[in-house]
Chain A
Amino acid sequence: MQRHRRNCGLPLLVAIAMLIMTVSSPPAGATSMPDWVKGLAALPTPEHDDRTDAVTLTAETELAVDTSGRITRLERRAYRILRPEGTSRGTFQAVVDAETRLRRFHAWYLPPNGKEFELDDKDAVDVALNIPNGQLISDMRVRVLRAQGVAPGSIVAYESQQDERSYVLTEKWQFEDTIPVRSASFRLRLPAGWGYQATWLHHAEVPAVSEAPGQTRWLVENLPAIPIERQMPPVRGIAGGLVLALVPPRGAQRGFRSWSDFGNWYLKLLADRRQPSDALKGQVTMLTAGARTPLAKIQALASFVQSDIRYVGVELGIGGWQPHKAADVFAQRFGDCKDKATLLATMLAEIGVPSYLVIVNTQRGAVDEATPPHLAFNHAILAIALPGDARDPAPAAMYTHPALGSLLIFDPTDDLTPFGQLSGPLQANYAVLVAPDGGELLRLPQLAPSANSLARSAHVALDDQGSLSGSFEEQWRGDRANAQRYALRAAKVDTDQIKPVEALLAGSLTNFDVLEASVGNLHALDRPLQWRYKIAVTAYAKLAGDLLLVRPRLIGSDASTLLETKTPRRLAIEFDAPRHDTDEFEIGLPPGFEVDELPPPVHLATPFGSYDSETKLVGRALHYSRSLSMETVSLPAEQAPALRDFFRAIARDERTTAVLRRAVRAGL
């Protein structure tokens, strides 16, 4: 995106920061604390450890539906700040847009000593949603209340009342948090004739208490904090919650009671979106004219949408869920994920290939097989029904559907993952297939480790001073190739293109020069990204008397400090994708030196992965080979000690050294 900042006055970002930092002053002493806030100081602090930043004293949600079906949500939250890092809980936010009026927004601050302080709507700051790359037009804004001077020992509280948009009558109440919760409750007020279906998520069912006709309340208490750990599942995928499908009277549009309901709702959104224009039809004809096979035709259309339709989201109101018309997206040559998926589906239909939108959350684990149907997604991709003659050889990202046949899962928004493959976050992820007769939850395919791999080889020679020179070749596939391609494409100047190689080498070598470097297949997504470079390293091997010490693992590292923590792992460990790495290095020995000691081979085999490493003398060269294969995308916490030991063994192996000795000349 090209952003033009003003040529005068305060720089914009500074101004934004200052506005958020500042609140206008309330009338002195004019706090109007409601009773629920007055009683907070007397509430006990729930059990916690010394690293707990804050605790939730109370979290009340009330959802009221009036007879016309309009929904109003009341939120009350109060936290006790325990540590300086917990002061961020004193910043309150509400997302608003044209259809969700915020009727009331108040915050109260009760310091351990000093006067209470109150903020309300007029003190709020509205901030645009933080959109990466500025590629989204949205009417959603975040309204923020924040006060300075919030210190540990304070109680902070807020209350908001907001009209909800009701595209669907499904509500989620998430009551667990990354801090302990003393008490959380949800009250549902329904008019006569309405009902609901409740499904509990990651928590045992709690009995509903009927407080009055049409008024039901659920209460949970003393919930421990969800720990924050590296590579953990998404919080929404493990936090306890309740999903309510509201059921209006007399067959009116109800909340989702099944994924089929979700699919049918989405089909209605798609109803008039897939009409081709003449220009679109002409483009399909042109793109497929030269393609000889059905698969080649599909690939030509997929490639067009993937690369020629740039990502721009214009998401106003229902536009957050409903795609734009395919003909418009085609004409503009831009759209968001659901626009691109819809356009491709429309183009495929022109060549007689059925395809179905797949709605997914890009955080694997946010939705699983037990998740009740609700709006838990943020991305749209496509399932393409491959004709029988287009399956040989079958692409990797296939899903076999009992009724719809072989479906190729393809993400037209991802312009780095080649046709037939699937990026890591989508693999083994649960998604809704929007099929002609409704929706169903399915598990997307998990690809083999070889689809996400690095194969590195080197031919180098050592001299008798330990300096090393030679050439390397790397072949990258899958997400790891994507990351390289992304960095290389984003380079603004040519010197930036060599920086990934320098950064890689700097992690393993000192005193090196890159003599030559070239990258291959940068734009050929269906081939591995290729790096070739020649380097010279001064004093790579170290002389120690008549010994020369050589680390055969020249570059790269497969070890990880992920699990080197003081506290035991509590949550599952999530990986981007399965992976497979190999190194094959040939290190020519300098004249006059012979091998004295070689590192022992290493062989590790576990249920989650394997690692093999070996250094051999072959002729006058050391041959170092190793391979790492990680088979899984998620590992239970109980396996953490085994994984930690696995990485420690790799770290030890990576530091091992071959010892060469200067040969004694005979006959002198």
Chain B
Amino acid sequence: MIAVALAAVLGAAPAAQAESWLPIDPAELAMTAETKAPKAPAIFLYRQVDRDDNVPLERQYIRIKVLTDEGRRFANVDIDYDRTREWIHDIEARTIRPDGSIVEFKGTVYDKTLVEAHGANLSAKSFQLADVEVGSIIEYRWSDRLTDGSVYDSRWLLSGDLFTKSARFSLIPSRLFPLRYSWPLGLPEGTKGPIDQHGTIRLEAHDVPAFVREDHMPPEDLLKFRVDFIYVPRDEADKDTDKFWKKVGQRDYRRVMDFIDEPRVIQAALAEITAPADAAEVKLHKIYARVAQFHDPAEDAAGPAEAEARAKHRAKNVAEVWQRGYGSQRDLDWLFLALVRAAGLHADPVLVPPRDRYFFDERFMNPGPLATEVVAVTLNDTTLYLDPGADLIPFGSLPWRKTAVHALRLDKDGGDWIKTPAPKAADTRASVTADLAMTATGALEGKVTLTCTGYDARRLRTHERREDAAHRRQFLEQQLQALIAARSTAELEDSPDWTDAEAPFVASFRVSIPEWASVTGKRALLPQGLFAGRIQRLFEHATRVHPIYFDYPFELAADTHIALPAGWRLDSVPPEAQRNRDALQFRTSVSRLDDGIRIERSLHSDVVLLDVKFFDTLRGFYDAVRSADAETLVLSVSSAVERH
């Protein structure tokens, strides 16, 4: 939101809603289904959003066709708003029965407070349309008057929970600020981009599919068709992309420099951390390790009074951060930047759009997504991207959400665009070594060691960082059991190092798997994929709409030794299985040992973002892995044992 200095420019009070409703198309009244949205409980026949940022006022018009019993729930309407800066008024609604008769809404519009505190009040206007049945059309409209003297960014969200047959949008931009708008995902098929008609931006859309949620998809908000409207301060407005980012970069660089400009305190701090004779690389590691010990303000506060005080008083500069010993992630990264520079190394601040929230494109000239940061340090002609402000990130690594993204490296001239390093599969590995013995009833018992590195280790550590030993034990045992593709019990024997981000995460367990082998009269049958739990149900649905998205590449490995009971012998083993599809690799093999068998299994996934057209290939790969996991070893019992 941008505050407008001159309230005098405000327009007159908003006009009332248009007197008449749009005409009803008899074909729409008669329709029983929409061929482009089969089985849909309801569809938007029509949506209209008209906004005037000079008033400021937004009017919405909704027309919904109810196609099934389930679709009647769309007759319960909630309009969310912030009572401190919005006024919802002129709510009108009606039901058109399948026979064309009309029931005007004359019920109560309830004003529900959703949350109220400290000068904020989030509320909802709530009403229920009457006499709604399958085949009805329901429609309603309202006006939303926004606070005088303000201009707000906004968006047209084209994708909704329901199929949209037709929609119209318009926006009259504020006369006071330059407006930039973009549609980063493109627009639905057949929809032309927004046009500017005499100062009003307009867009029409037809046949917009309902939004579908799927496993392993990019952040939902990034997949919805939308048009974003962003007001920018006049001094930053520029039609040329390079010039725009140069202004933004210069402004942000000045802010960083102002924050770190505390040479006296920083030099004293550096003297505490490093020795003058330390090599540059040693100094860098020491500074990183020291800053990584700093905490988030909420952590280790001595009670709520201190937590409250810390949350309220943000650091003014790096001197304050150093003296307090805590700070926000950004505070800590800029402290690191100041120390590294004081140590004589070249280092630059870098603004990073985190990919768990944004798929950033600098062409849209929106600095909002540059919400996180790292520090670029040049050492021996190599650039290292470092983030000691993030929790439990080892030296040389970045949180996954800051990897493989375009980021703005700042300097006094504005800076340049760089790409942060992409993670590699080998950096994140979960491996299991198991030393098990099979009993005569087919149970497996023994010791299992789980070793995790990279983002898997960080995930486990951060998940449990505020928990106690009992919780961590239970959590780890459940993690291991989830890896085992059958009912099991696990007792943690050796706990991992929960705090050292540089160390691998190693835990060992005493494990029992009662029903792994199926014992028939004279044989025991063992599926070879004992530690296959993690992928057992991956991509179980054959259809796919969205791209496939993993947070980071990874490797899984298992090395299992199973000692056989006396009198049992291995009759047959499955052939080695191997799949190699560049980014996806899998191998499993069984070998005979003197006292039993050894099963080795490895899976390598270098996939982060994959176009939906490759979904069948990806699913086929995991089907092949699961099929190999289900391959069976056959053991037989000697006749002496059988008789016994």
Q: Which residues of A contact B (CB under 8 A)?
A: 1-9, 12, 15-16, 19-20, 22-25, 50-51, 83-85, 109-117, 124-128, 133-135, 137, 141, 147-152, 154, 307-308, 310, 312, 314, 331-334, 415, 489-499, 502-503, 505-507, 510-511, 513-514, 523, 538-539, 542, 544-545, 547, 549, 559, 561, 564, 566, 597, 599-600, 648, 651-652, 655-657, 659
Contact = CB atoms under 8 A, between A and B. Distances in A.
Contacts of B126: 134, 137
Given A4-B78, A12-B80, A514-B542, A116 B132 contact: no
B115 A147 contact: no
B520 A597 contact: yes
Contact of B518 (A110, A331, A334, A655): A655
B541 A502 contact: yes
B630 interface: yes
A308 B62 contact: no
Nearest to B126: A137
A502 B544 CA distance: 13
Given A2-B64, A8-B154, A652 B305 contact: no
B610 interface: no
Contacts, number: 288
Contacts of B207: none
Contact of B39 (A112, A151, A497, A510): A497
A561 B487 contact: yes
B145 to A, nearest CB: 12
Given A7-B155, A19-B115, A542-B574, A2 B62 contact: yes
B304 A493 contact: no
Contacts of B124: 3
Interface in B298-322: 298, 301-309, 311-312
Contacts of B523: 597, 659
Nearest to A90: B304
Contact of B117 (A6, A125, A492): A125
Contacts of B572: 544-545, 547
B73 A492 contact: no
Contacts of A15: 82, 115, 120, 122
A114 B305 contact: yes
A462 to B, nearest CB: 15
A3 B162 CA distance: 12
A333 B130 contact: yes
B40 A493 contact: yes
B80 A3 contact: yes
Nearest to A331: B130
B-side binding surface: helix, strand, loop or mixed?
mixed
Contact of A510 (B118, B466, B574, B626): B626
B624 A7 contact: no
Nearest to B64: A2
Contacts of B68: 489
B128 A6 contact: no
A52 to B, nearest CB: 10
B110 A137 contact: yes
Given A4-B60, A510-B626, A117 B468 contact: no
Contact size class for B?
35 or more
Most buried by B among A126, A148, A507: A148
Interface in B174-225: 209-210, 212
B149 interface: no
B356 interface: no
A547 B634 contact: yes
A663 B157 CA distance: 65
A8 B153 contact: yes
A115 to B, nearest CB: 4
A499 B51 CA distance: 40
B467 A148 contact: no
A149 B306 contact: yes
A125 B520 contact: no
A510 B525 CA distance: 18
Nearest to A547: B634
B600 interface: no
B632 A492 contact: no
20 contacts: A4-B62, A4-B80, A5-B80, A19-B118, A19-B120, A22-B117, A83-B468, A124-B117, A126-B116, A137-B110, A148-B311, A149-B308, A150-B304, A489-B41, A489-B70, A491-B39, A496-B212, A545-B572, A648-B514, A655-B518
B297 to A, nearest CB: 10
B114 interface: yes
Interface string B443-480: 00000000000000000000000111011000000000
Given A1-B73, A544-B634, A657-B632, 15 more contacts: A2-B77, A19-B118, A83-B468, A109-B303, A110-B303, A111-B303, A114-B302, A114-B303, A115-B305, A133-B73, A149-B301, A333-B130, A490-B70, A491-B39, A544-B571
A651 B153 contact: no
Interface string B72-83: 111111111110
Given A109-B303, A493-B40, A24 B515 contact: no
B69 A415 contact: yes
A566 B491 CA distance: 10
B365 interface: no
Most buried by B among A5, A150, A549, A564: A549
Contact of A507 (B39, B162, B210, B537): B537
